[in-house]
Amino acid sequence: MGLFDLFKKKETGGSGKTYIDSVRHIECGPWHQYDILLTTTIYGWEYMLGWADYVAGIDMRPVDRVTVADIGKEEINVTDDYNEVKSIKRMSCAADERGSLGVAGTSDVLRGTLVKIVWLNQTRMLRIFVPFRNDELILKYVDTIVHRSFGKIDQMKLFATDIKVEDMLLASGDNGGREENLEDIISDPVKYDSYLNKIASGIRIDDKRKILSHIEEGNIIMAVKLCREVTGAGLKAAKDIVDEHTHYLTL
């Protein structure tokens, strides 16, 4: 039996049906966390590996970080293990079942921004972290990766759906879950400055020092890369923070 056979066979891709049961949004500093309950059977370790391997290969360019963890324990960074084989399923640590599996990288589908996806073993829950809030886009993204992963279709894209965001969100912000998207924020200098300040405020002091050290050494590429890794910001936001570091990265 294939992966897709273990899931409820809801047709998606324009039919208006969805793999999402409900979603809870939580704001965590510069990150927005989405805990999404799927309309699927409970998935296990082997399905997590296959699902993560597909998403990492088709959407994340590059994969920046891979982690595993046991319930209630800290994450273990296994990125070096992944980089040796460039496959989630073929990592040596994949032989040992764990409570969670996390993959973070730059998403092609989500406009070149950093996304982290965490699969939780023996649940129907999927957890996603992104540096912006756009409920409808994230829900479409989740429907896409479920459908494309288990539907054996070789190309990811956001498809039309009549997801009712307000009905699915269990917790939302003052704006009813419909904050402005990133393009709108970037187009307004005042809002964009506030957005960058908010991102930078979530950077730990030690990480700020490392970023500033890279800048002082003239290694702007490494400074931007580190800024993206610790904030989840997109390339433009991270570069703007680094370029204006005297404003955004004061100690």
User: How many CB atoms are closer than 10 A to CB 4?
Assistant: 13
pLDDT > 90? residue 183 = no
Residue 55 lies in a domain: yes
Q: What is the pLDDT of residues 26-54, one digit of tens each?
A: 887 778 899 998 887 888 999 899 889 98
Q: Are 22 and 120 in the same domain?
A: yes
Q: What is the pLDDT of residues 124-135, one digit of tens each?
A: 899 999 888 888
Residue 61 — pLDDT band, cuts 50, 70, 90? Answer: confident
Q: Are 138 and 209 in the same domain?
A: no
Give yes or no for a cis peptide into 62 (omega within 30° of 0). yes
Residue 177 lies in a domain: no
Give the model's pLDDT for residue 200.
Answer: 84
Mean confidence (pLDDT) of the chain? 80
CB proximity list for 98: less than 8 A, separation 6 or greater? 45, 68, 69, 70, 121
**Domain residues for 40?**
4-171
Name the amino acid, one letter, at 189: P
Give the model's pLDDT for residue 6.
Answer: 33
> Which among 137, 171, 205 is the end of a domain?
171
pLDDT > 90? residue 216 = yes
Q: What is the pLDDT of residues 229-240, one digit of tens each?
A: 777 677 888 899
Rounded distance, CA 146 to CA 148, Å? Answer: 6
Residue 225 lies in a domain: yes
- Between 196 and 6, whose confidence is greater? 196
Domain count across the chain: 2
First-to-last CA distance in the chain? 56
Give the model's pLDDT for residue 73.
Answer: 84
